[in-house]
Structure 1
Amino acid sequence: MVSSLPAHVHIREVGPRDGFQNEPETIATADKIDLINKLACTGLRRIEVASFVRPDVIPQLSDGVEVLRGVEVPDDVALMVLVPNSKGLDNALKVRETFSEVAIFVSASETHNKKNVNRTIAESMADNAAIAKRIVGEGLRCAAVIATSYGCPFEGRVSMTRVLDIAEQFAAAGATEIGFGDTTGMANPAYVGEFFTAAIRRLPGVEVTAHFHNTRGQGLANAFAALQAGCTSFESSFGELGGCPVPAGSTGNIASEDLISMFHEMGVDTEVSLPALIDAARAAQHVLDRKLTSHSIVAGPINWKPTANTSSCC
């Protein structure tokens, strides 16, 4: 592991895509646009906003075009869309001018990939190679995501060698960023440290990104282990929104505000205003009409000052 922590890390906010897609009640397009605009004013420089999947599969994201056309974000904020296949890319390119990054994906587990997209890994990777070439040809940044990188609920532990072999295939196809997803919260800090040490070594010149879920309460510990191993790129979701629909019970991503609070207290800069991000998460809580599970929504920033009439506690 590296002996010291990095001075700065990059955060991609994935709540508007990875988070919203798991909400059972339809979120109004106007509310999505408002929340994304709020996120874009926090100092976040990367936001995943839409997925071009079949509307009958994920109805919540069927308004991706309207969202992309409706948001108003600063010029230095990069918007990302996710595409599951060539057809999805065709649809995304109809609004090519609204985003600058495209994510493609595969599961490292054959069983999970089959349940998720009804393809083998080999079939997905063949399509991904063609998609990546088109993305690069459009002058867009290509990012790849490998789901179930640390374990699969159907197959158990997934071989690190298999995951990194897939990552090298993505890099060869043109991906300049590769994210490793803890899709159902099966990672642990010891393995994460070993994993990112190996991934960074095997993928020179590629931005290696950590994407953890808090399904079993180890999300922040895993993020710290990745940080110690030299990872400087992370994905998270405001309010701890998200999860994985395959299988049920796989709860949300680590909360962006909790992750950023931890980084800031360790002296690691993110360029994000934590109070503004907490305000955005609280706005999401209002839109969804339920309490979200982020700790920072309740506690506020660590330097929060109680009001005069706040009750004392021991």
Structure 2
Amino acid sequence: MNSLPKNVTIIEVGARDGLQNEKRIVPTEVKLQFIKALQRAGITEMEITSFVSPKWVPQMSDHKEIVQSVTQSGRQFVLTPNEKGIHSAMELGVKSIAVFVGVSDSFNKKNINKTTSESMEELRPLIRQLKEQDIFVRACISTAFYCPFEGKIEPERTYEICQQFVDMGVDELSVADTIGMASPSESYELFSMISEKLPNVLLTAHFHDTRKMGLANIYAALQAGIHRYDCSAGGLGGCPFAPGATGNVATEDVLNMLDRLGIETGIQLDKLLEAVKIIEPYVSRPIETGMYTLSKSV
């Protein structure tokens, strides 16, 4: 067995990635309670909302109120799909911004109506502008393993996008198994390659649990030396532009596994479960994990 990291950072994505696909609009005050409870649990990095058009993602229409109401604690990312979103976030004083692109042209067109190369060219001057303002830039790379329209994505294609983002000056790469089709061997292969070739950028793994291999893929990434993971409290999530994608790997399940492996996260599991109980009544499906079924206990 390869040596595992002693410490891992969890980036909580439940408030953004976890809720974006919910058809029932979650009240803003509930989202804020959820975010504050996650902070109390010890989460220091999280995606709190996205600056997207309410026409396409109505769940995120309260993004300005969320940004203005959340107490600053660590890095709080907002996702921005385009120049308009980036400038809106900057006007509100956001200090951590996430941009995104799909490795697959087909996915990228479905998502933001541009090819991958068109998106990268549009982002280049915007990232330069963000870094000139000393804003932390996180690049989210979708369909890094498989695409719902094109099938398997070769690792070299994903690495090429990662390299381009590093050349642009981003601070972090979040590499995503958007539809949850990766295997542990593919996880290990891709993250080993990227971390070896790009050692000077923060590298984060983002797994969905479509085929119940999320934890296995995280364990494989741990063996590849990755110590940052996107997770979603309650396993919430999905992608409106990726047919078949289910929720993200549940933060509580990841914490349980890391604890059993002796890996520190700084997050208190009991307080995290309190946060999950806040959001559970407002989502469309019962929250079930390997540890418990919340709908039976609240």
| Map of 2:174 onto structure 1 | 179
Structure 2 counterparts to residues 82-161 of structure 1, below 5 A: 82-96=79-93, 99-161=94-156
| 8 Å contact from structure 1 (residues 282, 297) kept in 2 | no
Equivalent in 54, 59, 78 of residue 81 of structure 1: 78
Structure 2 counterparts to residues 11-22 of structure 1, below 5 A: 11-22=10-21
Q: What's the CA shift for 1:247?
A: 3.1
The alignment status of 1:225 with 2:206, answered yes or no, reads: no
Count of aligned residue pairs for this structure pair: 294
5+ long unaligned stretches in structure 1:
300-314
| 8 Å contact from structure 1 (residues 35, 283) kept in 2 | yes
Q: What's the CA shift for 1:289?
A: 6.8
Which residue identity is paired with 1:23? E
Which residue identity is paired with 1:56? K
Q: What's the CA shift for 1:100?
A: 2.5
Work out the percentage of aligned pairs sharing the same amino acid: 38
Assess, with a 3 A threshold, how the Cα gap between structure 1 residues 84 and 276 changes in structure 2: closer, same or farther. Answer: same
The alignment status of 1:66 with 2:61, answered yes or no, reads: no
Equivalent in 208, 222, 226 of residue 203 of structure 2: 208
| Map of 1:260 onto structure 2 | 255
Q: Which whole-Å CA distance do the structure 2 matches of 1:288 and 1:158 have between them?
A: 32
Assess, with a 3 A threshold, how the Cα gap between structure 1 residues 100 and 295 changes in structure 2: closer, same or farther. Answer: farther
Which residue identity is paired with 2:77? M
Q: Which whole-Å CA distance do the structure 2 matches of 1:142 and 1:69 have between them?
A: 20
1:205-253 per-position Cα deviation (integer Å, ceiling 9, x unaligned): 1111000000111111000000011000100100100011223321100
RMSD: 1.4
TM-score after normalising by structure 2? 0.95
Which residue identity is paired with 1:209? T
The alignment status of 1:8 with 2:7, answered yes or no, reads: yes
1:54-106 per-position Cα deviation (integer Å, ceiling 9, x unaligned): 11111110101101111235x4x21101111111111111211xx42111110
The alignment status of 1:30 with 2:25, answered yes or no, reads: no
Matched residue SS, 2:101: strand
1:14-64 per-position Cα deviation (integer Å, ceiling 9, x unaligned): 010101101110111111111100001111110100111111111110101
| Map of 1:53 onto structure 2 | 52
Which residue identity is paired with 1:61? M
Q: What's the CA shift for 1:297?
A: 4.1
Q: What's the CA shift for 1:115?
A: 0.9
Q: Which runs of structure 1 show a deviation greater than 4 angstroms over 4 or more consecutive aligned residues? A: none
Higher relative contact order (CA 8 A, sep 6+): 2
1:247-290 per-position Cα deviation (integer Å, ceiling 9, x unaligned): 33211000011111100110010000011111111221133375
Q: Which whole-Å CA distance do the structure 1 matches of 2:96 and 2:135 have between them?
A: 6
5+ long unaligned stretches in structure 2:
none
Q: Which whole-Å CA distance do the structure 1 matches of 2:146 and 2:283 have between them?
A: 31
TM-score after normalising by structure 1? 0.91
Q: Which whole-Å CA distance do the structure 1 matches of 2:273 and 2:290 have between them?
A: 10
